[in-house]
Amino acid sequence: MNNGLRILKRRRAVDLALARQYLDVPVANVSDCMARMTAGGARLRPMHAGGRMAGPALTIKARPGDNLMIHKALQLAKPGDVIVVDAGGDLTNALIGEIMVGDAVNQKLGGFVMNGAIRDAGAIREGSFPVFAAGVTHRGPYKDGPGEINVPISIDGMVIEPGDLVIGDEDGLLCVPFDDAERLLAAAHQKQVIENKMVADIQAGTFDRSWVDATLTRLNCYIEE
């Protein structure tokens, strides 16, 4: 088997019904429940008009500027899948554009994540199909490979296994490991309850900030009288 040019089967994937429940949860809340230790990199921003993304990852490791395996992934993807591409973050050549996004929309996929560049940014920005990318360039892609499908990838230290849950909103991207998806959904809902109470307390003028002075005291902070 040629490492660097291979297409593997995805052995498992987070249930799509479970994934879609994350569409009602802010990414920041899930991130807090993961100890704020995981992130997909601040460079990868939403390129679409707006709206959340959640779906099982179909992963691709691509040569920078080459989209051969992205085209193959579009043949393999199932409805709801998020195609996640690690192309090294290179912005020299675009990996996808309006045509490939249109194909993904037609197949009812869940979104695109490109650790690289896109083009046709205006058309993508007008649509609601989730597209996250590191940048924009008019220069088109190569189609020669190498590349790998359904292998573990990493974006700015965030490891994504095939079938993991990938979520995104205006704050960025997050990978929820397959085995943690149900637990973290419940935790994120509880986090939302806590934050809703905080907002209500602020509006009522009863918000408790006593923890601030308690922390400063613990840290032995000097405060001039």
pLDDT tens across 55-67, in order?
A: 999 999 999 999 9
Examine the pLDDT at 5 and tell me if it is beyond 70.
yes
Examine the pLDDT at 3 and tell me if it is beyond 80.
no
Q: 146 preceded by cis ω (within 30°)?
A: yes
pLDDT tens across 198-219, in order?
A: 999 999 999 999 999 999 999 9
Q: Give the per-residue pLDDT at 40.
A: 85
Beta strands in the chain (DSSP E): 5-7, 45-46, 53-62, 82-86, 94-96, 111-118, 131-136, 147-149, 153-155, 158-160, 165-169, 172-176
pLDDT tens across 156-202, in order?
A: 999 999 999 999 999 999 999 999 999 999 999 999 999 999 999 99
Rounded distance, CA 51 to CA 9, Å?
A: 30
Phi-psi region of 208 (alpha: psi -120 to 50; beta: other; left: phi over 0): beta
pLDDT tens across 71-120, in order?
A: 999 999 999 999 999 999 999 999 999 999 999 999 999 999 999 999 99
Phi-psi region of 33 (alpha: psi -120 to 50; beta: other; left: phi over 0): alpha
Examine the pLDDT at 2 and tell me if it is beyond 90.
no
Rounded distance, CA 1 to CA 149, Å?
A: 13
CA 216 to each of CA 206, 207, 219: distance values in angstroms, whole numbers, following the listed order: 21, 18, 5
Rounded distance, CA 76 to CA 73, Å?
A: 5
Rounded to two decimals, the pTM is 0.93
Please tell me which residue, 72 or 225, carries the higher pLDDT value. Answer: 72
pLDDT tens across 116-141, in order?
A: 999 999 999 999 999 999 999 999 99
Q: Give the per-residue pLDDT at 96.
A: 98
pLDDT tens across 22-52, in order?
A: 999 999 999 999 999 998 888 999 999 999 9
CA 166 to each of CA 17, 93, 127, 188: distance values in angstroms, whole numbers, following the listed order: 14, 24, 20, 15
pLDDT band at 1 (very low <50, low <70, confident <90, very high): low
Rounded distance, CA 213 to CA 225, Å?
A: 14
Whether the CB-CB separation of 95 and 60 falls below 8 Å is answered with no
